Amino acid sequence: MNTNVTAHDALVDNYLRAVGQALTGVPAYRRDELLQDLREHIAAGRAELGEDETEAEVRSLLDQLGDPAEVAAEARIDTGPTPPPLLQLQPSKRIGAAVWVLIALGLCAMLCVGALLVGLFAVSRSTVDGKTPAPAPVVSAMHS
**Non-local CB neighbours of 139 within 8 Å, separated by 6+ positions:** none
What's the CA gap between 106 and 100, in Å, rounded?
Answer: 10
Which of 8, 4, 13, 9 is closest to 68 using CA atoms?
13
**Non-local CB neighbours of 122 within 8 Å, separated by 6+ positions:** 137, 138, 141
Pick from 3, 6, 24, 88 the residue near other proteins by CB under 8 A.
88
Site membership for other proteins, residue 133 (CB under 8 A): no
Site membership for other proteins, residue 12 (CB under 8 A): no
Interacting positions 27-56 with other proteins (CB under 8 A)? 30, 33-34, 37-38, 40-41, 43-45, 47-48
Site membership for other proteins, residue 117 (CB under 8 A): no
Q: Which residues bind other proteins (CB under 8 A)?
A: 19, 30, 33-34, 37-38, 40-41, 43-45, 47-48, 64-68, 70-71, 74-75, 77-78, 84-88
